[in-house]
């Protein structure tokens, strides 16, 4: 079996020689001719029922060849039978919740996680009752109607790690969803550890260049089919141009993650010694929450870090205003470095008590480290922190 980097370059391109192309074809059709009505009707039934393909795609909301190529490539990287792509990471999570709602109403959720994910689960918009627990409470809180366990590791924004194997064991026969956006398949393969669903906001590292919004769920075929049914019914299919850009980003994924990770380790160590910084959250530092999982569950500590500045909200806002090279913006996983304030932006919708309990303080900044020269990044951070 090819190694990761070879798979990243060649997955989803297996028939290029036969097609006599070198770059992935981009199919922008919204509809497809149906000269044989019987074949068309059978294809329609198959796609609505969640099959991965059919003799006739019928309509782009049901299937698109460019999207399917990208799905195959990402599934190969995660080591799963299937991948289902959506118009955003939140659309992907919503599809899983709607699919699981057919089997019960109770979901166990471990915090912290992305703010909008937290809000969606807490709101009950998908008809589910979310109970927020610690990872070591999962076995005790499981109920007959529990249909899903949701974790994010590394967690957004504190980078806390959750032991996936332990969660899967505690969940028993309840499916486990792991949001692995921060880790990417370069550093972590949750399906190999027993997770049922592996979710990525593909907007981030998988795309990698800040020009595509996408979400994917990797899983086995039995769990993929209901997700495709939800996608077809809700119109959440990834646009083919976004799929094309996503596929284009995969060959450099490992190179980007490893370069940014090397930068992040250096910056985390230096920030931990800076007098304006109260605390640094990074799995590669001593004392990190479940840091022992680096090297076993995760191949490395990753490219994101968070740090608390002395002076709280005002000091954090001042840092965001003073950075010159690093972009003050939400999102992450791009080739360039981004800094943002979780309490005021990505996690603003989370209740204040929950933010306080999960370490999302007024002075916390999250830094998505890019592939720039690390000395230039450090120079920018030091001048931005100079008056904090």
Give per-residue pLDDT as tens, 17-57. 999 999 999 999 999 999 999 999 999 999 999 999 999 99
- Active-site annotation holder among 13, 111, 204, 254: 204
Do 234 and 303 share a domain, yes or no?
no
Residue pair 323/274 in contact by the 8 Å Cβ criterion: no
Q: Is the pLDDT at 69 greater than 90, yes or no?
A: yes
- Give the domain CATH number at 270: 3.90.1150.10
For 272-318, write each residue's pLDDT tens digit.
999 999 999 999 999 999 999 999 999 999 999 999 999 999 999 99
- Looking at every residue in the chain, the average pLDDT score rounds to 97
Q: How far apart are CA 108 and CA 257, in angstroms?
A: 30
Neighbours of 190 (CB within 10 A): 29
Q: How far apart are CA 125 and CA 119, in angstroms?
A: 9
State phi, psi for 76 to the nearest 5 degrees: -65, -40
Instruction: Copy the structure tokens of residue 216.
Output: 């994917």
E strands present in 205-311: 215-219, 277-281, 304-309
**DSSP structural state of residue 137:** G
Q: How far apart are CA 90 and CA 113, in angstroms?
A: 12
Place of tokens 């931005």: 384
Instruction: Copy the structure tokens of residue 218.
Output: 């990797």
Tell which residue, 251, 357, 291, 348, has the closest CA to residue 153: 291
Q: State the average pLDDT over residues 87-108.
A: 98
Do 239 and 318 share a domain, yes or no?
no
- Active-site annotation holder among 61, 165, 248, 322: 61
End-to-end CA distance of the chain: 52
Indicate the number of domains in the chain. Answer: 2
Instruction: Copy the structure tokens of residue 225.
Output: 């089919």
Do 292 and 232 share a domain, yes or no?
no
66: Cα separation from own chain's centroid:
21
Instruction: Copy the structure tokens of residue 294.
Output: 């680096």
Domain span at 276: 253-385
Do 165 and 184 share a domain, yes or no?
yes
- Give the domain CATH number at 108: 3.40.640.10
Q: How far apart are CA 62 and CA 385, in angstroms?
A: 50
Residue pair 180/200 in contact by the 8 Å Cβ criterion: yes
pTM score above 0.85: yes
> Which of 188, 217, 248 is the last residue before a domain boundary?
248
pLDDT at position 1, please? Answer: 78
* Cα dist from 72 to 50, 67, 75, 193, whole Å: 16, 9, 5, 21
Do 314 and 331 share a domain, yes or no?
yes
- Active-site annotation holder among 118, 163, 179, 308: 179
For 319-363, write each residue's pLDDT tens digit.
999 999 999 999 999 999 999 999 999 999 999 999 999 999 999
Do 88 and 203 share a domain, yes or no?
yes
Q: State the average pLDDT over residues 64-73.
A: 97
Q: State the average pLDDT over residues 132-136.
A: 98
Q: How far apart are CA 315 and CA 341, in angstroms?
A: 11
Do 311 and 167 share a domain, yes or no?
no
Active site residue 61: yes
Do 194 and 296 share a domain, yes or no?
no
- Active-site annotation holder among 13, 69, 100, 114: 114
């Amino acid at each position: 079996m090819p190694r990761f980097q070879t798979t990243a370059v060649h997955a989803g391109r297996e028939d290029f020689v036969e097609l006599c192309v070198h770059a992935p074809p981009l199919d922008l059709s919204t509809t497809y001719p149906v000269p044989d009505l019987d074949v068309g009707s059978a294809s329609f039934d198959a796609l609505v029922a969640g099959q991965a393909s059919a003799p006739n795609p019928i309509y782009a909301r049901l299937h698109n060849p460019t999207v399917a190529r990208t799905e195959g490539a990402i599934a190969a990287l995660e080591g799963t039978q299937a991948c289902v792509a959506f118009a955003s990471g939140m659309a992907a999570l919503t599809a899983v919740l709607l699919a699981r709602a057919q089997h019960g109403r109770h979901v166990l959720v471990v915090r912290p996680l992305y703010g909008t994910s937290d809000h969606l689960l807490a709101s009950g918009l998908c008809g589910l009752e979310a109970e927020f627990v610690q990872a070591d409470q999962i076995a005790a809180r499981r109920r007959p109607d529990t249909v899903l366990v949701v974790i994010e590791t590394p967690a957004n924004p504190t980078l806390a790690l959750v032991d996936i194997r332990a969660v899967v064991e505690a969940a028993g026969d309840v499916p486990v969803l792991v949001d692995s956006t921060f880790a990417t398949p370069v550093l972590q393969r949750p399906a190999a550890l027993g997770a049922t669903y592996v979710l990525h906001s593909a907007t981030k590292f998988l795309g990698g260049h800040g020009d595509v919004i996408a979400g994917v769920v990797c899983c086995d075929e039995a769990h993929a089919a209901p997700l495709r049914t939800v996608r077809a019914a809700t119109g959440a299919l990834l646009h083919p141009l976004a799929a094309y850009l996503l596929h284009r980003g995969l060959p450099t994924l490992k190179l980007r993650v490893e370069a940014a990770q090397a930068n992040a380790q250096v910056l985390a160590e230096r920030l931990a010694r800076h007098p304006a910084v109260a605390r640094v959250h990074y799995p590669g530092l001593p004392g990190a929450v479940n840091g022992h999982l680096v090297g076993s569950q995760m191949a490395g500590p990753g490219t994101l870090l968070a740090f608390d500045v002395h002076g709280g909200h005002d000091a954090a806002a001042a840092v965001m205003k003073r950075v010159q090279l690093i972009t003050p913006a939400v999102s992450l996983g791009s080739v360039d470095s981004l800094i943002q304030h979780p309490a005021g932006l990505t996690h603003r919708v989370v209740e204040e008590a929950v933010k306080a309990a999960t370490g999302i303080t007024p002075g916390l900044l999250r830094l998505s480290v890019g592939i720039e020269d690390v000395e230039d990044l450090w120079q920018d951070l030091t001048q931005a922190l100079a008056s904090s």
